Amino acid sequence: MGFTIMQGLMLVLLIASTMAVSIARPFGNSINTQSSNKIIVGDTHHWNYGFNYIEWATKHGPFYLNDTLVFKYDPPTPKTFPHSVYLLPNQESFIKCDLKNAKMQGNTKQGAGNGFEFVLKESQPHYFACGEHDGIHCLNGTMKFSVTPIDRTYR
């Protein structure tokens, strides 16, 4: 008796796992290709003063390793304010928009055309900010956001 119940259970488990595999497969394949995405920062707003990038990043996430962030911004002209892309060293500098130990990634001209591309290579927090006007664009213009890319293969 116990044996047949056990067999029945095994059968149910076997069917369940087969179904799970066939359901999971299309999703699994898309993960295994390790394809990476190109994401335009700010979508149609591009990289500009006054848009809330923290909110944008929260809505848009999660971000994955090897994803490419594309920063689009106009080159400096007499009529436009220049922008740039910096990485801030830690959360404290991010909160304060303190550029002291920040590293420039994209200069004021690199956002033109197809934009400045940054590939997320490390699974650690990345604190992005505009470096113009001594951090005013970051602080008053909310041109900052953080991203911690995750590894697709662990999903």
Ligand X SMILES: *[C@@H]1O[C@H](CO)[C@@H](O)[C@H](O)[C@H]1NC(C)=O
What residues line the site for Cu ion (CB under 5 A)? 83, 130, 132, 137, 143
The least distance separating ligand X from the CB of residue 42, rounded to whole angstroms, comes to 20
CA–CA gap between residue 21 and residue 15 (Å, rounded): 10
- The residues with which 147 forms a beta bridge, in sequence order, are 126
DSSP state, 87?
E
Q: Are the C-beta atoms of residues 98 and 136 closer than 8 Å to each other?
A: no
Binding residue for ligand X (CB under 6 A) from 34, 37, 90, 91? 34
User: How many CB atoms neighbour CB 17 within 10 A?
Assistant: 10
The least distance separating ligand X from the CB of residue 135, rounded to whole angstroms, comes to 10
The least distance separating Cu ion from the CB of residue 12, rounded to whole angstroms, comes to 60
| Residues that bind ligand X in the complex, under the rule CB under 6 A | 34, 65-66, 136, 140, 151-152
